[in-house]
Amino acid sequence: MLGQKLKELREEHQFVQREVAAKLEVDTAYVSKMENGTKQVSRSWLPTLADMFEVQESELVTLWIADKIDKIIVDESCGAKALELVTKKYTNQ
């Protein structure tokens, strides 16, 4: 989710992965892996990325959290039910 969004934003702003990597002080391969979902995006990078791509940090944080949740429940047989319970808890507040 977040990786795909970062790729879309990077392409919209006509940045190459090398420019994003320089801003985050990582190598280009890491940026590629973030975009294809094989490497995690550090929470501490979200303000920098939001500024670079001119988006609200909260949009990126939301996707970052969604990725974390997905990683936890993806292989759990009760994952969808657990997500439903948590959703209900926060919907009823």
* 23-79 confidence digits (pLDDT tens): 999 999 999 999 999 999 999 999 999 999 999 999 999 999 999 999 999 999 999
Q: Rounded to the nearest 5 degrees, what angle is found at the Cα of 14, between the Cα atoms of 51 and 63?
A: 50
Look-up of token digits 């280009």: 28
Domains present along the chain, CATH in parentheses: 2-91 (1.10.260.40)
* Whether this model's pTM surpasses 0.95: no
User: Residue 93: its pLDDT value, please?
Assistant: 66
Answer whether 41's CB lies under 8 Å from 51's CB.
no
* 3-30 confidence digits (pLDDT tens): 999 999 999 999 999 999 999 999 999 9
User: Residue 92: its pLDDT value, please?
Assistant: 75
State how far the Cα of 25 lies from the Cα of 22, in Å rounded to an integer: 5
User: Residue 85: its pLDDT value, please?
Assistant: 94
